[in-house]
Structure 1
Amino acid sequence: MSAPGPYQIVEADYGSDQAALRAVREAVFIREQGVPAELELDALDPRCRHVLARDAAGTAIGTARLAPDGRIGRMAVLDGWRAHGVGSALLQALLRIARQDGLPRVGLHAQETAIDFYRRHGFSPVGERFEEAGIVHLAMQCRIDRPVAVEDRPAAVVATVAVVAAARRQLAIHSRALDPGLYDHPRVLEALRRFAVAGGGPQVRILLQDAMAVQRAQAPLIALCQRLPSVFALREAGDPVDRENPVALVASDTGSYYLRPLGHRFEGETEHGARARTRQLLRAFDEAWERARPCTELRALGL
């Protein structure tokens, strides 16, 4: 399913953005899910930190909030924009705010249909299911003062998309052969495309360990690299130590990373707002990048 178009995530000003916040929440919670208006609108709103997703025209398409006690809520995305990473981007924006505020953990009440979504983002169940506003929920918590474990392919896709979405101008990707099942996933490809065309001089450096395998597989990401050669740079590790390095990584210039100690597996860890740890990872990447050779054979159109 292709995305309806580009979007951006911004922190909202409750005073000036109140109408946009409520328009999304009323559409999703009140009209779609049948939540009573007196339950959806509460006195906590003005004390919360809110984030908004806006489309290219500036129209609000999603929102979520973070209460002073660390509870995430009112996560809502308009129907036509679901399954395009908007919810993940909103959630990661709130997690970054929570880390900036020094919160050690956050919690939420997940609707039953969204439990797996939050689990993939590192949230764990607390207690038993319960009913709230006529909808089955489960309380969940996430520690944000330490990395979140990534355990399977769906979580790996979520983690990769979140790191790409968090980047401002620079991304670094270290992969043996662009990991089938991850860098050919439609959501990952769309996140990279969106980052590449967003403007502001984005740069994506991709360090491979087996360029020939990528060429043989005709990896979909290479086609994007060929269409946007001013954004994507490709190199192959040449030093024997670098070629045998099992680590895989995607990291941004904002302190977000997803690290896999064994690059042929999806298991690893991800973290946002971890600037010191990300700088450490990028230093090792930069050193290997300088020793690597440009992959000119992957630049030609029509693999």
Structure 2
Amino acid sequence: MSAVDDSAAFTVEAVDYAAALPDLRAVRETVFVREQGVPAEIELDALDPLCDHVLARDGVGRPIGTGRLTPERRIGRMAVLSEWRGRGVGDALLAALIERARAHHWRAVSLHAQADAIAFYLRHGFLPEGPRFEEAGIQHQAMRRVIDGPNPVADRETALAAMLGLVATARRELRLYTRELDPGLLDRPELMAAFRRFAVAGGELRILLQDPQSPQREQAPLIALSQRLPSAIGFRVVEEPVDRDFAGAYAVNDRGGWYYRSLGHRFEGETRLDSPGRARQLRAAFQEVWERARPCTEFRALGI
């Protein structure tokens, strides 16, 4: 990966552990030991020589980021020097590690994400598993991603994570097909904040629903948000019998991401962020129903 000048350019490659150990340690000791206070004796462990390692270097060859893939199929030791964060190095390291897992023909990989990095991994298709826990004095969340296949969604919290990943990776379009705005999911504060950021940044959110009365009666926060941002958020109501017979629900974006539930009143389903073929099918199906549906005048703010 490169840019206009050496100060912005970097490369990521798989490396031999023994040969690259000084560079790997230079980054990991800076980030984990000196910056985060992880004890040096546990940062370098017995698994290290058995792992696949990737290393990021700047334009003149200095080490700036690391990551590893253990024989237990777990990604770890993801570290980027502070001056290089927010510049795509972490994304490139993670992509390289997933490519290594793919080369091993592994179906899935897991990781322990530091709490402040959960959103980063959601953007790359990882979903949380179980409660948070403390590791080396830092709050972590176990996460997992199926490689080249859909991830199962089993409950409300995983559904929230799937939706946050979809919104975060959408470019300009996000489509939701829902029965009654999914109370307990689409009204979560984290998701409402993500919808607002998406809309304010120029995104278009279209929502099809079968029952406008229930969310209106419950004062669903998405209604109020749409009244503040009417050019970005639009509702239509499904009325045609052939459309109302559809029992499922789904969300789809314009970057190949989707979350599909065969039963719209439940959160169980599947999600994937890198499946453009399936996303195109869902977007086409949504557009057909959208054209037949009626405008949801019930949600318009007074005076509009």
Q: TM-score, normalised to structure 1's length?
A: 0.66
Q: CA–CA distance in 1 between the matches of 2:232 and 2:142?
A: 42
The residue that corresponds to 1:107 in the other structure is: 109
Q: In the comparison of the two structures, how many residue pairs are matched?
A: 253
| Aligned-pair CA distance for 1:36 | 2.6
Residue from 197, 221, 239 that aligns with 2:200: 197
Q: How does 1:221-300 map to 2 (within 5 A)?
A: 221-300=222-301
Q: CA–CA distance in 1 between the matches of 2:269 and 2:96?
A: 20
Q: CA–CA distance in 1 between the matches of 2:28 and 2:197?
A: 23
After superposition, give the CA deviation of every residue in 1:206-260 in whole Å (9 maximum; x if it has no partner).
0010111121111011111111111011100010121231111111000000111
Distance 1:75 1:66, change over 3 A: closer
The residue that corresponds to 1:36 in the other structure is: 40
Tell me, what secondary structure is at the counterpart of 1:46?
Answer: strand
Distance 1:109 1:177, change over 3 A: closer
Q: CA–CA distance in 2 between the matches of 1:297 and 1:134?
A: 51
Residue from 135, 151, 162 that aligns with 2:154: 151
| Aligned-pair CA distance for 1:133 | 7.5
Q: Would the aligned equivalents of 1:239 and 1:292 in 2 still touch at CA under 8 Å?
A: yes
| Aligned-pair CA distance for 1:136 | 12
Q: CA–CA distance in 1 between the matches of 2:168 and 2:28?
A: 21
Distance 1:109 1:208, change over 3 A: closer
Identical pairs, percent: 44
Residue from 150, 169, 174 that aligns with 1:171: 174
Distance 1:168 1:137, change over 3 A: closer
Distance 1:76 1:159, change over 3 A: farther
| Aligned-pair CA distance for 1:75 | 4.9
Tell me, what secondary structure is at the counterpart of 2:55?
Answer: helix
Does 1:160 find its partner at 2:142?
no
Q: Would the aligned equivalents of 1:64 and 1:72 in 2 still touch at CA under 8 Å?
A: no
Give, as a single letter, the amino acid of the residue that structure 2 aligns with 1:34.
V
Give, as a single letter, the amino acid of the residue that structure 2 aligns with 1:175.
T
Q: CA–CA distance in 2 between the matches of 1:297 and 1:197?
A: 23
Unaligned segments of structure 2, at least 5 residues: 1-7, 12-25, 58-63, 81-85
Q: Would the aligned equivalents of 2:113 and 2:143 in 1 still touch at CA under 8 Å?
A: no
Q: Would the aligned equivalents of 1:107 and 1:139 in 2 still touch at CA under 8 Å?
A: no
The residue that corresponds to 1:46 in the other structure is: 55
Distance 1:167 1:134, change over 3 A: closer
Does 1:187 find its partner at 2:196?
no
Q: TM-score, normalised to structure 2's length?
A: 0.65
Distance 1:205 1:134, change over 3 A: closer
Distance 1:260 1:33, change over 3 A: farther
Q: How does 1:33-112 map to 2 (within 5 A)?
A: 33-36=37-40, 39=43, 44=53, 46-47=55-56, 72-75=75-78, 94=94, 98=98, 105=107, 107-110=109-112
Q: Alpha carbon RMSD of aligned pairs, Å?
A: 4.8
| Aligned-pair CA distance for 1:14 | 3.8
| Aligned-pair CA distance for 1:269 | 0.2
Q: Would the aligned equivalents of 2:66 and 2:78 in 1 still touch at CA under 8 Å?
A: yes
After superposition, give the CA deviation of every residue in 1:167-208 in whole Å (9 maximum; x if it has no partner).
000000010110110000111111111111124xx1111001
Give, as a single letter, the amino acid of the residue that structure 1 aligns with 2:214.
A
Distance 1:256 1:136, change over 3 A: closer
Q: CA–CA distance in 1 between the matches of 2:224 and 2:155?
A: 26
